Chains A and B, each alone.
Chain A
């Protein structure tokens, strides 16, 4: 499994966890009456907090991921050669992380899929307003669709790495 595929899997898992946490938090608060159905300000601040959590978690997970990757490569080197040479490990890590034109093409194509999902969500959010749903439903649809777009982007990347582009 390549570095890019591993990175995509980490990003998907993180996206699903953050989205799931938001859905559970929002639904339980809505059901208990802690957040009023028409209190847009509280909903907006809740979403902003979760966006912040998502960004922070992404940074932390990426750091942990790179540490684990380095450890994994060192262990592989140790098993293969019996010694751990720092320059060899650095060289292997550098080689693993090379991004070229295929990576950029896959990134662009998957980003397009992500935007399509987010775009569909945006249209659905507007339709919900026309159908007389509250603005809270609209912003929730938008939040979920943008998060889903990001998750779909990760799945699409894995698909292109597996099947080719």
Chain B
């Protein structure tokens, strides 16, 4: 059975001085549309993009993404 990938991007943005989706997109070199899709669980990013998101918040990749049990 396929597990769903969950993320804490919304929470991490909140704790990063309410970083906007556009600001995050610019930081990681992606489009705002992609950030919206990732946050909504409609798109699972590549490992490279996932690492860039984690680096943008200064946390480990495990703190951004998790597997639904």
Contacts and interface: CB of A to CB of B under 8 A. Distances in A.
Interface of A: 2, 4, 95, 98-103, 161, 163-165
A13 to B, nearest CB: 21
A131 to B, nearest CB: 44
A4 B30 CA distance: 13
B56 to A, nearest CB: 14
Give the size category of B's interface with A.
10 to 19
Contacts of A100: 29-31, 34, 49
B14 interface: no
A164 B42 contact: yes
B30 A95 contact: no
**Max chain A C-beta neighbours (<10 A), residue from B25, B33, B49:** B33
A95 B26 contact: yes
A163 B36 CA distance: 12
B49 A101 contact: yes
A102 B22 contact: no
Contacts of A2: 31-33
A164 B43 contact: yes
A4 B32 CA distance: 11
A102 B37 CA distance: 9
A106 B20 CA distance: 24
A94 B15 CA distance: 27
B26 A102 contact: no
Given A95-B25, A95-B26, A101 B33 contact: no
A95 B21 CA distance: 12
